[in-house]
Structure 1
C-alpha cells in the first residue's frame, strides 16, 4: 500500500511549513484552500476531463465506420476487432492496474502512466491507418486499451478519495457526463474533420490524419492527469494525510474474500454494457440500412445516447444521492434499455425516441451502479475492486464485439438486437438477485439516503469514541 503521501516528491515538493505559508496568502482563498468545498469542485472539473481523450478516441472507429470499411477495405468483423483489441488487454491488465494503484504506483502516478499509454496507443493506431497496415492499427488499439480502462479505474479511485460521503453518486454521474461529452464530440466532429482533411489527402492517408487529430485530445487528458496529481499531492500535504485511506496491506489473494454483492454488481455491469457499447459501435450502418439515413444523420442518431447521458448523468446522480435506493434505480435502467432495444428491433418508430430514452436509462444505471462498489469494499481495496469490475466488463466487450460483428455479417441486425436483449435479461435477473442478497444482509445497497446518512453519522461517532480511548504515545 502506498503511504506517506505516496512516498514520492511527485511534481515537486514543499515542506509543511512552506505549504502553511502559502495558505496564508493566495492559497488561503476559497478557490485554493483544499479545505474549502469550492476547491474540491474545481479539482472535480479537472478530474472529469482525465478520461476525456480516452473516451473521445475509443469511439473513433464508430464515428468513421463507413470511411474505415471503404478506405481500409475490411469487413464488419475486422472493423469490430478494433474494439476487441481494445478490450482484450483489459481482461487481465485492468485488474492488475487497479492492484498497482492500491499497492505500488498510487493513484497519482498511476493516472499519469495510464494516460501515457492512451496517448501512445492512439498515435500508433493513427500511424497504422496512414500506411494502411491493419495489424499495426490492432496493436495501437491494444496499447490504447492497456491505458484506457486502467485510467478509468484511477478516475474512480480519485472520486471516492475526494468525495466519499459527499454526493458520490452525483460525482460519478458528472464523470460519466464528461466522458460521454468526449464520445459525443467524437461522433459529431470526426466526420467533418475527415471531410476537411480530404481536401489535401484521400483514402487511408486521410483516415490516418483524422485519427492524429484525435490524439490531441489524449495529450489534453495527460495534462489533466499531471494537474490532478499536483493538486492531490498538495491536498494530502495540507490536510496531513497519506494518499491511501488505510495502512492495511493489500494482497492479491484478498479478492477471494470479496462479498457476493460485489460479484453480482460485476455481472450486471458486463451484461448491461455489452448491450450498449457494441451496439453504438455498429449503429451507424444499422440506421443507414433500416431507416435509409445519410451517414451524417445516422451518426447524429447513433450519438444521441452519449449526448443525453452527458446532460442527464449528473442530474440523475444528484437525484440518487437524495433518494438512495440504488438497486431500484439499476433495475429501472435495465428495464428501460430492454424496451428501447425491443423498439429498435420490432418497430419503425423514429429511432430518436428509442436512442434518447436509452441515453436516460444508461445515465440512471451508471450513476447508481458504480458507487455501490464503495459501499461493499473497503477503501484501501477500491482500486483492485474497480479494476476487477473493469476487467470483467472488458472481457464481455471483447467477446461480444467479435460475436456482434459475426452476427451482422451472417444473420443481420434483427438477430443482433435479439442477442442484445438476451444480455439485458441476464442483467435484470442479476439485479433482482442482488436486491434479494442485499436484503438478507441489512439492505445497505438499497437504503434511503436518510438512513444511509444516519448510519454514517453513527459509525463516525463510534470511531471518534474509540479514538479517544486509545492511549497517547
Structure 2
C-alpha cells in the first residue's frame, strides 16, 4: 500500500499551497503600476483631488499624489530588481544548504515586512522620509519575493520532475499572475473609494496569506520527504553543495539565462509603465480602463499558462518554443512604437508569447543542472534576470524624463522606450538561437520530443534518491 506522499493527490496538495506562496506578493509587486498617477501626482491641487487623468472637456486635470518624478517612480521597480540580483544568489545557495523549510518562512516574512514598510511610507507625504521608506520597503519586499520564487520552483521541480513539470510550473505562474490580474482589476477602484494608504495596507494583508501558505507547504514538504525516506539523503547532498559550483554550470544553462533575461527585459519594464503609456498615447482611456488593458498581459498568462504547460510537457521542443515566442514578440513593440493599433491587441499578444516563454524557459533549468544545485542555479538565473530588468527600468525612467512637471509624457519619449524593448527582444532571439545550436550539438535535452524521451522520464518522487546520485556522478565536479 502506497504511503500518502506517493499518491498523486499529495503532490498536488503540495502544489496548491506552493502556488499560494506568491499570490499576494505578485499582487503587491505591480500595485505601483496601477497607482502610477497617484505616486507621481502633485502634492497639492488648487481645486482639490482629482482621480481621473482627463476632465469632461478632454483637458488634463490635476492629480493629487505623492509628488514622485518618473525617474523616482521607476526606481521603485529598479531597486526591487537590483535587490533580487544581489540577494537571490545567496538565497539560492542557502536554500540548497538549509532546505526548503528555511526558505519559505524567511522569504515570506520578508515580503510581509517589505510591503508593510512601503505602505507606511505613503503616510509621509511631502516629507523627506517618504522616498527612503518606500524604497526600503521595496528593497525588503524584493529580497523576499524573488527568493520566494526560487524555493517555490525548487519544491515544484522536486515533486514534478519527470512528470507534469511544465504543467506544474504553469500552474504556479497562473496563481501568481492571478494576483497580478486582480491587482489591475480592483486596485484602482479600491483606491478611489478608500484612498492610497488603505489600498497599500490591503496589499500587505495579502502577503500574510503567503506566509500562512508558506508554513503549510513547509510541513507538507517535510512530512512528504520523510515518508519517502529522502530527508536524510537530501541533507547529505546539501552538505556537498559549495558556492564554487557555479563555475561548473554548463554553457546551455548560461544561454538559457541570457534568453530569459532579454525576454523579461521587454515584459516587466513595459508593464510597469503601460497604464501611463496608454493614457498618454491613445485618446479616451481613463486610468481604470488603461489599467485593465495593461493587465491583459497577465490576463492572457493566467488563462493560458496551464494549457501551455500541458502542451510543452507533451510536445517537448522547449528550445524551439523559446526561439518562437521571442520572434513573435517583435511585432508587439513595433505596433506600440509606430502605429495606433488599439493597445489591447498588443497587450494580449504579449501575454500569449509571455505564457509560452515562461512555460518553456524556466522549467528547462532543472533539465540542464543537477538537482543538488538547483536552488543555486535558480537563484543565479533570477539574479541575472533582475540585473537586466533593473537596468531596463532605470534606462526607461531616464528615457521618459526626470521631471514631474510634464503630466503628459511626450510621444517621442514613449517611442524611444518601445525601440529599447525591440532591441532587447532581438537580443533574446540571438541568445535563444545559440541555445538551440548548443543543445543540438550535445544530447538535445531541451528539444527532445515526448516520443524521444528516455524511459526514466516518468519518475515518482520516491525515485529521487537515485536521481540525485545519478546527477551527481554525471556532473562529476559539481559536488
Fold-level similarity (TM above 0.5): yes
Matched, 1:296 2:293: no
Paired with 1:90 and 1:304, the residues of 2 have a C-alpha distance of 25
Give the stretch that moved more between structures: 341-350 or 210-219: 341-350
2:189–2:288 Cα contact (<8 Å) kept: no
| Distance apart, 1:364 and its partner CA | 0.3
Matched, 1:182 2:192: no
Counterpart position of 2:169: 172
Paired with 1:243 and 1:123, the residues of 2 have a C-alpha distance of 38
Counterpart position of 1:273: 264
Counterpart position of 1:9: none
Counterpart position of 2:154: 157
| Distance apart, 1:246 and its partner CA | 7.1
Say which of 219, 223, 234 aligns to 1:230.
219
* Residue deviations 1:105-162 (CA, integer Å, cap 9, x gap): 2111211100000100000000000122111101110111111100000000000111
1:111–1:225 Cα contact (<8 Å) kept: yes
Say which of 132, 137, 140 aligns to 1:135.
132
Identify unmatched segments of 5+ residues in structure 2.
42-64, 403-411, 471-479
Paired with 2:342 and 2:326, the residues of 1 have a C-alpha distance of 21
TM-score computed with the length of structure 1 as normaliser: 0.87
* Residue deviations 1:316-340 (CA, integer Å, cap 9, x gap): 0100000000011111111111111
1:126–1:208 Cα contact (<8 Å) kept: yes
Counterpart position of 1:470: none
| Distance apart, 1:237 and its partner CA | 1.9
1:53–1:220 Cα contact (<8 Å) kept: yes
| Distance apart, 1:447 and its partner CA | 0.8
* Residue deviations 1:389-448 (CA, integer Å, cap 9, x gap): 011111111111011011112751001100000000000000001100111112111110
2:88–2:383 Cα contact (<8 Å) kept: yes
* Residue deviations 1:3-36 (CA, integer Å, cap 9, x gap): xxxxxxxxxxxxxxxxx9xx9xxxx7xxxx2221
Say which of 175, 179, 203 aligns to 1:214.
203
Paired with 2:458 and 2:35, the residues of 1 have a C-alpha distance of 51
Say which of 261, 265, 276 aligns to 1:285.
276
| Distance apart, 1:258 and its partner CA | 0.5
2:322–2:361 Cα contact (<8 Å) kept: yes
Paired with 1:191 and 1:243, the residues of 2 have a C-alpha distance of 49
* Residue deviations 1:358-391 (CA, integer Å, cap 9, x gap): 1110000100001111111000000000000011
1:130–1:209 Cα contact (<8 Å) kept: no
| Distance apart, 1:455 and its partner CA | 5.8
Number of residue-to-residue matches in the alignment: 425
| Distance apart, 1:245 and its partner CA | 4.3
Paired with 2:214 and 2:420, the residues of 1 have a C-alpha distance of 38
Counterpart position of 1:431: 432
Paired with 1:36 and 1:454, the residues of 2 have a C-alpha distance of 21
- After superposition, the Cα gap between the structure-2 partners of 1:327 and 1:194, relative to the gap in structure 1 and judged at 3 Å, is same
Say which of 328, 331, 340 aligns to 1:339.
331
| Distance apart, 1:244 and its partner CA | 6.2
Corresponding residue SS for 2:167: helix
Counterpart position of 1:442: 443
- After superposition, the Cα gap between the structure-2 partners of 1:110 and 1:178, relative to the gap in structure 1 and judged at 3 Å, is same
Corresponding residue SS for 1:236: helix
Counterpart position of 2:27: 56
| Distance apart, 1:229 and its partner CA | 0.7
State the superposition RMSD in angstroms.
1.9
Counterpart position of 2:356: 364
1:34–1:40 Cα contact (<8 Å) kept: yes
Counterpart position of 1:34: 5
- After superposition, the Cα gap between the structure-2 partners of 1:383 and 1:243, relative to the gap in structure 1 and judged at 3 Å, is farther
Runs of 4+ in 1 over 6 A off after TM superposition: none
Paired with 2:138 and 2:444, the residues of 1 have a C-alpha distance of 41
Identify unmatched segments of 5+ residues in structure 1.
1-19, 198-205, 468-473
Counterpart position of 1:407: 399
1:245–1:379 Cα contact (<8 Å) kept: no
Counterpart position of 1:7: none
- After superposition, the Cα gap between the structure-2 partners of 1:234 and 1:297, relative to the gap in structure 1 and judged at 3 Å, is same
Matched, 1:258 2:255: no
| Distance apart, 1:195 and its partner CA | 1.1
